Amino acid sequence: MKRALLLAVAAGSVFAAGCTPVLRNHGFIYVDGEVPEIVPGEDNQASVLERLGSPSTQGVFESTTWYYMSDTRQSLAYQRPQTSYRRIMEIQFDDAGTVTAVNEYGIGDGRRVTLVDRETPTPGREMSVWEQLFGNIGNLPSEQFGGEQNLPGGAGGPRRDE
């Protein structure tokens, strides 16, 4: 009886451990866990680099915008990971390198983008499987397979007359 109870408890704990979510942090993580305050008009690129380090990315079209991104993904057993936390800090600079604006975005600010799965039509005719397999029969030039010509797969180059 005790052995059966012990086996049941062991099996239950193994089953429960398999249901424990795995958390993974991605991107920028603050050193002390606290977000340092960036003040527009007072801070510049050097002070931001000193407090936050290198940005996760910079603006594509304007290099005067820095982004610090972080997110936490939770995966449970075999299921697809779900993003449970996301934070994006956008810091904008003027031409002199002084901070002009600081914006923060969370997981609620994101938008789902649906991709269009259309195919671009290509000009030409559609070939069946049989046309693709047997379409070249009789179309190869016969002068390649005899006489003084090099054979396909040969060493190439001019032949020596001996």
Give pLDDT tens digits for 88-140.
889 999 989 999 999 988 888 888 778 787 888 777 777 888 888 887 776 76
Domain count, the chain: 1
Confirm whether 129 is domain-assigned. no
Amino acid letter for position 58 = Q
Confirm whether 64 is domain-assigned. yes
- CA triple 36-68-71, angle to 5 deg: 100
Confirm whether 6 is domain-assigned. no
The better pLDDT of the pair 69, 154 is held by 69
Confirm whether 82 is domain-assigned. yes
* Residue 60 structural domain: 27-109
Confirm whether 141 is domain-assigned. no
pTM of the model: 0.55
- CA triple 122-128-132, angle to 5 deg: 90
6-29: pLDDT as tens digits: 887 777 776 666 677 787 887 777
49-75: pLDDT as tens digits: 988 888 888 888 878 899 988 888 888
- CA triple 19-20-24, angle to 5 deg: 130
